Amino acid sequence: MKKWDKGFIINRTNLSKKNANNLEKGRFDIFNQLIWILPAFFFICVFSYFSIYIVFKFGLSENGGQGVFKLSFTSIKNLFTDPLKEFPIALRNTLLYVTLSVPISLLLSLWVGKSLSNVLNKKAFAFFQSALFLPYVTSSLAVAMAFSMIFSNSGNSLLAQLLSKFGLENIDWTKPKNAITMTTIFGIWRMLPFQIILFTAAFLKVDKRLYQAAAVDGIPRWQQYWKISIPQIMPVIVYMITTSIIGSLKFIPFGLFADYDEAVKASAQTAVYYIFAQINTGVGSLASYSKAGAAAIILMLIILVITIFNAILSKYLRKKFR
């Protein structure tokens, strides 16, 4: 046998051993990755998929999930035929809250984020960034209690004293028209810090040469904002729209009212607050899992429809500002 034949056989043997080792290593890597994924997958199945199963079991069962399951939409129908109309009012408040809070918070955070990104002094930038982000890391219940004290109907509240200095009467925030305004202001305040931080970081990543070239061409700053800044951070805007809508649909005015009954008196209950109240009832009251499940299913469908619409809108915006 020639020398080059022997070398070819040896190289081919080594190559086969190397491929076998790579294949064995690949199998080990897959097994190793599964070990890391399985715990997270287990928790997702327990706390997500199993929870969805429980919701549909109680919400679409004829006997409220007790005994043999029989498909029925009676629980959903009862939500809208209830004489007190608690859930329709809660659903109306939730949709109204989303309609008001999401666009207002996005516009304010875009403006503040752009202004903050223009601050050149590092110490001033760090101070304003920390001050604006502080409400986000503060307990939501503490912020809600502070808001309830500011918007209190007593004459000693901060807002009442401020209005009295201008010769205005104190506003009764327990009235239905005023209560939804208070919850909207509170929700916007809670959403602003996180949005401002993200938009500030997005504006800082925009290439400065684009602004320099636009300034050389004599383009005003307000046109630079709409022609350069907004298109460059459009993925962040789309992300914030999606997360803000979903978060607003899950809003609960904890702390603003003493309990769910106080929110109902002010006609300021939300859909998730209604679901929470059906399960966490007071002493001597029975939990209504069928109502809670039916309400959760309706809210889930609304979120699904809005998410699909938002995905179509996001695709259109990406194409327009590409």
Which of 125, 313, 133 is CA-nearest to residue 237?
313
Which of 92, 273, 101, 111 is CA-nearest to residue 187?
101
**Contact (CB, 8 A) for 61 and 289:** no
**Assigned token pair, 96:** 């109204």
Percent with pLDDT over 70 in the chain? 86
User: What pLDDT digit, counting tens, does each position of 92-148 carry?
Assistant: 999 999 999 999 999 999 998 888 888 766 777 777 777 777 777 777 777 777 777
Task: Considering only CA atoms, give the Rg of the chain.
Answer: 28
For position 283, what pLDDT does the model report?
56
For position 22, what pLDDT does the model report?
53
Mean pLDDT value of segment 182-201? 87
**Assigned token pair, 308:** 């699909």
| pLDDT at position 180 over 90 | no
Which of 15, 94, 45 is CA-nearest to residue 268?
94
Of the two residues 284 and 104, the one the predictor is more confident about is 104
Residue 234, Ramachandran bin (φ over 0: left; ψ between -120 and 50: alpha; else beta): alpha
**Contact (CB, 8 A) for 132 and 266:** no
